[in-house]
Amino acid sequence: MNAKVFRNWLFVLHRYLGLMVGLIAIVIGLTGSLLVFHTEISELQQHHQIGTITPQGRPLPIETIINAVKPIYANRSDAVLQVLDAPTKPNAPFRVVYATKANDWIENYVHPYTGAVLGNTLKPNATEHFFSTAYKLHYSLLAGDIGIKIAGIVGLLMCILTLTGAMLWPGWRKLIAGFTIKWNAHPKRVNFDLHKVVGMIAVAFLFFTFFTGFCWNFYEFSEPFIRVVTLSPSKTEPVSQVVAKQAPLRLADQLQTAQAALPDAALRRIYFPAKPEDALRFRFKLPQESVSYGESNVYLDQYSGVVLRVDHGLKLPLGDRVLNAFVPLHYGTFGGLPTRIFYVFVGLTPLILFTTGFVMWWYRKRKKQPDFEETPQVITKHF
């Protein structure tokens, strides 16, 4: 296959692949833009709900915080304690998360110095409901497990679309022309210039956001594949040795053991066992770790307190580092505020690219003849 035939084939693939997945990609992209600053908006909403917390020395013990929330769910046999998030700032609350059959993520905000329950999300407000719906639309198209797979497939096809678009970019012949928009030219030319410039500016970020989304939606396949490719051994899930008629050890003692495994780390989250044989997991952040939530974990036997596994965030295998990189790449947090602002634009690019691409396809379909923006030979003449 010569270069001309291959390039024509790429044009056909790029055009019809874009028309096929464009509408779903627009939905995923727009909801992604809405979710970029979800955390900050939620914190503002939370602050409005619970008020201002004034630091008053040392926070209360973890068990005291949990016991403050337990009475709320005393009559709910289906309520299960899932997670506790430790405050990352002196004026932030503890978050104690419960799950019920009706709601799998109920946040309870607890004053770190008085133990008072300041509020919860048992009755989500309009803002929380909006973002919850946007999140479900983003990763599952509001269609459950089937929607998760469809969104994952669209993510993979979008990766192919971005690669073909990058290969067809005219700027490889002349860099300046590849980033030029001739605003005073014919509308067809302006439309094509918008498509090529916007696409190339966002191409790498589009690829990584859709690739990470695909991997998450097909994690049961992507995770072992990445470990094989990176020569990183698969990790077996730590388990507790159940002892008949013995209750789990006190959480305070378990936390002390976990902290001793990573003495310089700050507690970020506790994952409570869902089953008797599950391990108790503590998530920490080492001072040298760049992500605020930390990537270091300590797993303990909930009955004996034995340390089952320690994942040191700075000494992880390559496969774990690749998998952990998915979060900053997908959410745009790797460069701080500037990249997060840019990711709002990245979420809008599927809409821009689909619209301009559809216009090019429509011009071609209407005239039934090649246009300069559709054929590689004429693009070469123009640039």
List pLDDT tens digits, range 163-213. 999 999 999 989 998 999 999 999 999 999 999 999 999 999 999 999 999
Residue 382's pLDDT is 37
Which residues of the chain, if any, have pLDDT below 50? 371-383
Helical ranges in the chain per DSSP H:
3-35, 38-50, 62-69, 126-140, 144-168, 175-178, 187-217, 219-229, 251-261, 318-331, 337-367, 376-382
Instruction: Please give the pLDDT value at position 92.
Output: 94
Q: What is the rounded CA–CA span in Å between residue 14 and residue 164?
A: 6
Residue-level pLDDT at 381? 38
Give me the pLDDT at residue 4, please.
85
pTM of the model: 0.88
pLDDT score, position 85: 98
Rounded to an integer, what distance in angstroms lies between the CA atom of residue 212 and that of residue 222? Answer: 10
For residue 117, the tally of other CB atoms under 10 A from its CB is 19
